[in-house]
Structure 1
Amino acid sequence: MKPTLLILAAGMASRYGSMKQIDGFGPNEETIIDYSIYDAIKAGFGKVVFIIKEDFVDNFKAIFERKLNGKIETDYVFQNFDLKQYGIDIEIERTKPWGTGHAILAARHAIKEPFCVINADDFYGLDSFEKMVKFLTEEVTGSNYSMIGYEIAKTLSDFGSVSRGVCKVSHDGYLEEIIERTKVLRDGEAVVYEEDAKQYPLDLDTRVSMNFWGFTPEVFKLSEELFKEFALSHQDDPKSEFFIPIIVETLLNSEKADFKVVPTDSKWFGVTYKEDKPIVQASIDELIKEGIYPENLWG
């Protein structure tokens, strides 16, 4: 059975100012999602599931159904604020989604096979998808999961600092810890992070998480239990979010699962602000010139 690609596309995109998930970046208005799905099909994924807000479904179907018909199976699941489905009977007022860990739960009835999770607004590169398919078809179990580890120097912006989940990796290639560094930047040819007004160096090949995870459906049960606890304990904090790393950290600390850090030399790029758009467009244009992608992605 081919693995499934689960795309997190329900975010509010408040800093970007519009629905960046379906903004055009390629020469024919291709979205970043288009390039991810193109690579996923080439790598051997059998289905793509979009996690979106229900209000977006018509926009998504109008953009992707015609392109993907006959190429890969598609499905749509909705991230919403209904807590009764998790056995939570109290009302919790929120305007912001509950986070990426909660988003995964939206797909619990749609996925029965090994799957990976990615962000809609991140460009990951074919190598990452090929390595994830290999892991999901040959190595994954309910206690052996994975993440794609990017070289930190290939995930930075030329326009300021970024926040990165810096990975501590064991000698045999397994995740031991993710440390969130909120201010990572270039310093000449070096990479540093700032903390308490001081700078500390990071090796250029330090591995970081860019939210590219490999799981089996067994993760849903644990995630549902954790989310229920999280929601009840954060009911008075409308900005709190249940992130995937909370699930990962719980699995690691409880020794219920290991995470293999699968290294890639792909260059990551993505969009957070409107100012990022021309940089992403230029990066895609360069990949087309190199022959990695056709100019008209879907022919």
Structure 2
Amino acid sequence: MNSLTGTRVLVLGGRGFLGRNLVDVLLRDGASVRTFDRQPSSSSTDQPAFKGNVEEFEGNFIDGQGLDAALENVDLVYHLISTTVPSGSNADPIGDVTSNLAGTLRLLKAMSRLGVNRLVYASSGGTVYGNPCVLPVPEWHTLQPISSYGVVKVAVENYLHLYSELHGLQANVLRISNPYGMHQRRIGTQGVIATFLNKLVNGQTIEIWGDGSAVRDYIYVADVARALLLAGRREKSGTFNIGSGVGHSLNDVLRVLRKQTGLETEVRYMPHRKFDVSQTFLDIERAREKLGWTPFYTLEEGCARFCQLMERAREPALV
């Protein structure tokens, strides 16, 4: 499939970080887009309207309320919802399973009932592999996550495979590394680059867990959105790593951001956390070969772009 022109697409989590970036590229590709999100609380910060004609649905992903209406007459679903983050998931694994895994099973049941058989799932290339035995990490690597977040992501992947085998679901799984860029809002809980940048701009102390040598794979969100688009165009199932293919330490990230902004602030190194993987970055050859995808942005280029857009939008607090 060369484009999604005329395809009726539902983005679960469309108001979120990945969702907002994905909706933009789907609209440009000619898709008919609707989103599904929880109703914002009265204390939530107002978010800008979508840049195009988007049909917005609200409900509760955890108990499935409102999902049937959102799924009606849909061709393709993007599942971008996660109610937890890696750093907090081990504190309440039952809640993680109840919300994310059970919620996804309700989604799959509803899709099967309504005849919707195409789905793209945003999994986690940073957590499902655990501490890898080979770098860069290929998709065939053993899945041994060390956080409940990663365990649940693996379980969802397995259920997608089950539904593919039993019910003909066409499921493409993207194991996304560590995305960053505009619309990232979980400052302080997820998103190292956005958190560091926010604190540099505001002159706040940056806290780094460990000595800063932990290596991760950081990918600019525009590259992720393009990978999601290409996965949605596929007519068969598959699993793909989506990352830069290059590892950078936390200290490297801080150095790049300091250079881009010309700003300095205090840095405090904290004790290492047991659920943090020490070193990981992804092998992205399968995505190059099967999706025709390759990242455009290096870490330096992505951070420069992020800084420019942030300054242009006048969002110094990134909220």
For this structure pair, what is the TM-score category when the shorter chain's length is used for normalisation?
A: 0.3 to 0.5
TM-score (norm 1): 0.38
State the TM-score, normalized to the length of structure 2: 0.36
Select the structure with the greater relative contact order (CA < 8 A; seq sep ≥ 6): 1
| Structure whose residues are more often helix by fraction | 2
